[in-house]
Amino acid sequence: MTTETPDSRSNQTERRRGRPRRDPAQAEARNRLLRSGLEHLTESGYSAIGIDQILRHAGVPKGSFYHYFRDKEAFGLALIEAYQTYFVDLLDSALDDESLGHVDRLRLFVRRATDGMARHDFRRGCLVGNLGQEMAALPESFRAELIAVFEDWQQRTARCLSQARAAGEIPQAADPQALAQFFWIGWEGAILRAKLEQGPEPIRLFADLFFSMLKEGEPNR
Protein backbone atom coordinates (compact mmCIF):
# COMPACT_ATOMS: atom_id res chain seq x y z
CA MET A 1 0.00 0.00 0.00
CA THR A 2 1.35 3.43 -0.97
CA THR A 3 0.82 6.42 1.25
CA GLU A 4 0.35 9.72 -0.61
CA THR A 5 1.07 13.01 1.04
CA PRO A 6 -0.52 16.29 -0.08
CA ASP A 7 2.85 17.29 -1.56
CA SER A 8 3.20 14.09 -3.56
CA ARG A 9 -0.35 14.40 -4.91
CA SER A 10 0.38 18.02 -5.86
CA ASN A 11 3.57 17.02 -7.68
CA GLN A 12 1.72 14.30 -9.61
CA THR A 13 -0.98 16.79 -10.58
CA GLU A 14 1.63 19.26 -11.80
CA ARG A 15 3.31 16.57 -13.91
CA ARG A 16 -0.02 15.57 -15.44
CA ARG A 17 -0.95 19.17 -16.20
CA GLY A 18 2.47 20.08 -17.52
CA ARG A 19 3.58 19.81 -21.12
CA PRO A 20 4.52 16.27 -22.14
CA ARG A 21 8.20 15.54 -22.19
CA ARG A 22 9.69 15.56 -25.66
CA ASP A 23 10.93 12.22 -26.89
CA PRO A 24 14.75 12.47 -27.09
CA ALA A 25 14.68 10.54 -30.36
CA GLN A 26 12.29 13.09 -31.86
CA ALA A 27 14.41 16.00 -30.65
CA GLU A 28 17.47 14.39 -32.22
CA ALA A 29 15.66 13.89 -35.52
CA ARG A 30 14.71 17.58 -35.58
CA ASN A 31 18.31 18.54 -34.81
CA ARG A 32 19.56 16.32 -37.64
CA LEU A 33 17.21 18.06 -40.04
CA LEU A 34 18.45 21.48 -38.93
CA ARG A 35 22.11 20.44 -39.16
CA SER A 36 21.56 19.03 -42.62
CA GLY A 37 19.71 22.15 -43.70
CA LEU A 38 22.48 24.42 -42.43
CA GLU A 39 25.13 22.41 -44.25
CA HIS A 40 23.25 22.45 -47.53
CA LEU A 41 22.09 26.06 -47.42
CA THR A 42 25.47 27.51 -46.47
CA GLU A 43 26.96 25.65 -49.43
CA SER A 44 24.22 25.91 -52.04
CA GLY A 45 21.09 27.90 -51.33
CA TYR A 46 17.42 27.73 -50.42
CA SER A 47 16.09 27.54 -53.97
CA ALA A 48 18.60 24.90 -55.06
CA ILE A 49 17.86 22.46 -52.24
CA GLY A 50 14.81 20.20 -52.07
CA ILE A 51 13.28 18.71 -48.95
CA ASP A 52 14.00 15.16 -50.20
CA GLN A 53 17.70 15.94 -50.38
CA ILE A 54 17.68 17.22 -46.79
CA LEU A 55 15.78 14.15 -45.62
CA ARG A 56 18.17 11.70 -47.26
CA HIS A 57 21.20 13.43 -45.83
CA ALA A 58 19.67 13.62 -42.34
CA GLY A 59 18.34 10.05 -42.45
CA VAL A 60 14.86 11.19 -41.45
CA PRO A 61 11.60 9.95 -43.04
CA LYS A 62 9.44 12.47 -44.87
CA GLY A 63 6.57 12.12 -42.41
CA SER A 64 8.85 13.25 -39.60
CA PHE A 65 9.75 16.42 -41.46
CA TYR A 66 6.13 17.57 -41.53
CA HIS A 67 5.79 16.67 -37.87
CA TYR A 68 8.32 19.40 -37.03
CA PHE A 69 7.86 21.91 -39.86
CA ARG A 70 4.68 22.97 -41.60
CA ASP A 71 6.47 23.41 -44.93
CA LYS A 72 9.77 24.48 -46.46
CA GLU A 73 9.13 28.10 -45.49
CA ALA A 74 8.77 27.17 -41.82
CA PHE A 75 11.93 25.07 -42.12
CA GLY A 76 13.81 28.02 -43.59
CA LEU A 77 12.73 30.29 -40.74
CA ALA A 78 13.87 27.67 -38.22
CA LEU A 79 17.23 27.51 -40.00
CA ILE A 80 17.67 31.28 -39.71
CA GLU A 81 17.00 31.01 -35.97
CA ALA A 82 19.40 28.08 -35.56
CA TYR A 83 22.13 29.85 -37.53
CA GLN A 84 21.68 33.00 -35.47
CA THR A 85 22.16 30.99 -32.27
CA TYR A 86 25.34 29.40 -33.64
CA PHE A 87 26.76 32.61 -35.05
CA VAL A 88 26.09 34.74 -31.97
CA ASP A 89 28.06 32.21 -29.92
CA LEU A 90 30.96 32.53 -32.37
CA LEU A 91 30.78 36.32 -32.40
CA ASP A 92 30.36 36.81 -28.65
CA SER A 93 33.11 34.35 -27.76
CA ALA A 94 35.49 36.71 -29.55
CA LEU A 95 33.98 40.11 -28.70
CA ASP A 96 33.67 39.24 -24.99
CA ASP A 97 37.24 37.94 -24.65
CA GLU A 98 38.57 40.15 -21.85
CA SER A 99 42.13 38.95 -22.36
CA LEU A 100 42.30 41.07 -25.54
CA GLY A 101 41.87 44.69 -26.47
CA HIS A 102 38.56 45.51 -28.12
CA VAL A 103 39.92 45.87 -31.66
CA ASP A 104 41.86 42.63 -31.26
CA ARG A 105 38.61 40.91 -30.28
CA LEU A 106 37.19 41.78 -33.67
CA ARG A 107 40.40 40.50 -35.26
CA LEU A 108 39.92 37.25 -33.35
CA PHE A 109 36.42 36.87 -34.77
CA VAL A 110 37.73 37.39 -38.29
CA ARG A 111 40.43 34.77 -37.76
CA ARG A 112 38.07 32.19 -36.28
CA ALA A 113 35.43 32.71 -38.97
CA THR A 114 38.08 32.41 -41.69
CA ASP A 115 39.41 29.23 -40.12
CA GLY A 116 35.86 27.87 -40.07
CA MET A 117 35.50 28.45 -43.80
CA ALA A 118 38.90 26.90 -44.43
CA ARG A 119 37.84 23.70 -42.69
CA HIS A 120 35.25 23.27 -45.43
CA ASP A 121 37.58 24.38 -48.24
CA PHE A 122 35.68 27.68 -48.53
CA ARG A 123 32.66 25.87 -50.00
CA ARG A 124 30.32 27.11 -47.27
CA GLY A 125 29.44 30.73 -46.79
CA CYS A 126 27.09 32.66 -44.52
CA LEU A 127 23.53 31.35 -44.40
CA VAL A 128 22.09 34.82 -43.80
CA GLY A 129 24.13 36.33 -46.62
CA ASN A 130 23.19 33.49 -48.97
CA LEU A 131 19.49 33.94 -48.24
CA GLY A 132 19.78 37.70 -48.60
CA GLN A 133 21.07 37.23 -52.15
CA GLU A 134 18.11 35.00 -52.95
CA MET A 135 15.51 37.28 -51.35
CA ALA A 136 13.69 38.04 -54.60
CA ALA A 137 12.78 34.34 -54.88
CA LEU A 138 12.18 33.67 -51.17
CA PRO A 139 9.05 33.89 -49.01
CA GLU A 140 8.53 37.48 -47.88
CA SER A 141 8.51 36.30 -44.25
CA PHE A 142 12.28 35.84 -44.50
CA ARG A 143 13.02 39.52 -45.10
CA ALA A 144 12.36 40.88 -41.61
CA GLU A 145 14.14 37.92 -40.00
CA LEU A 146 17.28 38.40 -42.07
CA ILE A 147 17.35 42.16 -41.46
CA ALA A 148 16.94 41.58 -37.72
CA VAL A 149 19.88 39.17 -37.69
CA PHE A 150 22.16 41.62 -39.48
CA GLU A 151 21.10 44.42 -37.15
CA ASP A 152 21.83 42.24 -34.13
CA TRP A 153 25.36 41.45 -35.36
CA GLN A 154 25.85 45.12 -36.12
CA GLN A 155 24.79 46.22 -32.63
CA ARG A 156 27.11 43.72 -30.95
CA THR A 157 29.98 44.99 -33.08
CA ALA A 158 29.10 48.64 -32.48
CA ARG A 159 29.15 48.00 -28.73
CA CYS A 160 32.65 46.54 -29.00
CA LEU A 161 33.82 49.49 -31.09
CA SER A 162 32.29 51.96 -28.62
CA GLN A 163 34.34 50.30 -25.90
CA ALA A 164 37.40 50.51 -28.14
CA ARG A 165 36.84 54.25 -28.56
CA ALA A 166 36.40 54.72 -24.82
CA ALA A 167 39.67 52.84 -24.26
CA GLY A 168 41.50 55.03 -26.76
CA GLU A 169 42.05 52.21 -29.23
CA ILE A 170 40.36 54.10 -32.06
CA PRO A 171 39.99 57.87 -32.58
CA GLN A 172 37.31 59.74 -30.63
CA ALA A 173 35.89 60.99 -33.93
CA ALA A 174 35.05 57.44 -35.00
CA ASP A 175 31.37 56.52 -35.30
CA PRO A 176 30.96 52.97 -33.91
CA GLN A 177 27.54 52.50 -35.51
CA ALA A 178 28.77 53.53 -38.96
CA LEU A 179 31.90 51.42 -38.60
CA ALA A 180 29.89 48.38 -37.53
CA GLN A 181 27.49 48.77 -40.43
CA PHE A 182 30.40 49.18 -42.82
CA PHE A 183 32.08 46.08 -41.37
CA TRP A 184 29.10 43.80 -41.96
CA ILE A 185 28.37 45.11 -45.43
CA GLY A 186 32.01 44.53 -46.38
CA TRP A 187 32.24 41.23 -44.53
CA GLU A 188 29.35 39.66 -46.42
CA GLY A 189 30.88 40.71 -49.72
CA ALA A 190 34.24 39.25 -48.68
CA ILE A 191 32.62 35.96 -47.65
CA LEU A 192 30.82 35.73 -50.99
CA ARG A 193 34.06 36.37 -52.90
CA ALA A 194 36.04 33.91 -50.74
CA LYS A 195 33.45 31.23 -51.45
CA LEU A 196 33.58 32.03 -55.16
CA GLU A 197 37.39 31.90 -55.29
CA GLN A 198 37.60 29.09 -52.71
CA GLY A 199 40.32 30.87 -50.80
CA PRO A 200 40.88 33.36 -47.96
CA GLU A 201 42.39 36.26 -49.89
CA PRO A 202 39.19 38.37 -50.19
CA ILE A 203 38.66 38.14 -46.41
CA ARG A 204 42.27 39.07 -45.70
CA LEU A 205 42.11 42.05 -48.05
CA PHE A 206 38.88 43.33 -46.52
CA ALA A 207 40.12 42.82 -42.95
CA ASP A 208 43.43 44.56 -43.63
CA LEU A 209 41.68 47.58 -45.12
CA PHE A 210 39.04 47.72 -42.39
CA PHE A 211 41.53 47.63 -39.52
CA SER A 212 43.74 50.18 -41.26
CA MET A 213 40.69 52.40 -41.60
CA LEU A 214 39.93 52.01 -37.88
CA LYS A 215 43.18 53.80 -37.07
CA GLU A 216 41.89 56.81 -39.01
CA GLY A 217 38.45 56.63 -37.39
CA GLU A 218 36.54 56.39 -40.65
CA PRO A 219 33.80 56.12 -41.71
CA ASN A 220 32.32 58.79 -39.45
CA ARG A 221 29.24 60.94 -39.48
Q: What is the mean pLDDT of the chain?
A: 88
Q: Give the pLDDT score at 48.
A: 81
What is the DSSP track for 80-104? HHHHHHHHHHHHHHHHT-TTS-HHH
Mean per-residue pLDDT for 180-208?
A: 97
| DSSP assigned state of 135 | G
Q: How confident is the model at residue 60 (pLDDT cuts 50, 70, 90)?
A: confident
Summarize pLDDT for 116-165 with one digit per residue, the tens.
999 999 999 999 999 999 999 999 999 999 999 999 999 999 999 999 99
Tell me how far apart the alpha carbons of residues 200 and 205 are, in angstroms, rounded to a whole number. Answer: 9
CA count, 13 A, side-chain hemisphere, 59: 6
**pLDDT above 60 (res 65):** yes
52 or 122: which carries more pLDDT confidence?
Answer: 122
Q: How confident is the model at residue 16 (pLDDT cuts 50, 70, 90)?
A: very low
Instruction: Write the burial class of residue 186 (CB in 10 Å: 0-12 exposed, 13-18 middle, 19+ buried).
Output: middle
Instruction: Write the burial class of residue 58 (CB in 10 Å: 0-12 exposed, 13-18 middle, 19+ buried).
Output: buried
Mean per-residue pLDDT for 160-172?
A: 97
